[in-house]
Amino acid sequence: MDENVKDINKANEKVKSLEIEVNNTKELLTNANKEIDSYKYMDIEIAEIELNNKLEKYVDKLSLKNDIYKSIY
């Protein structure tokens, strides 16, 4: 009988451990989904235009003589 109780307690501990792991995974998944959702509404084209404008301004500040550097960005 004592062996059965030990086995049951071991199994219960494993179940509790797995429940904690599942809950942690659910929380991570929820946070990841929230992060993904935040990107759904981003306007990637505007972000790309802004980046190109910043790069062009940076290249202008460098006072490069060759215009080929500007055409890259």
Domain boundaries, position 52: 42-73
Question: In this predicted structure, what is the pLDDT of residue 9?
Answer: 93
Structure tokens at 36: 């993904």
Question: In this predicted structure, what is the pLDDT of residue 70?
Answer: 55
Shared-domain flag, residues 31 and 50: no
Residue pLDDT, tens place only, 2-60: 888 899 999 999 999 999 999 999 999 999 999 998 888 777 788 788 888 898 888 78
Query: For the whole model, what pTM was predicted?
Result: 0.50
Question: In this predicted structure, what is the pLDDT of residue 1?
Answer: 78
Q: How far is CA 47 from CA 26, 38, 58, 60, 70, in A?
A: 32, 15, 17, 20, 19
If one counts the domains in the chain, the total is 2
Structure tokens at 26: 């659910």
Shared-domain flag, residues 19 and 4: yes
Question: In this predicted structure, what is the pLDDT of residue 67?
Answer: 62
CB burial class (10 A; 0-12, 13-18, 19+) of residue 52? exposed
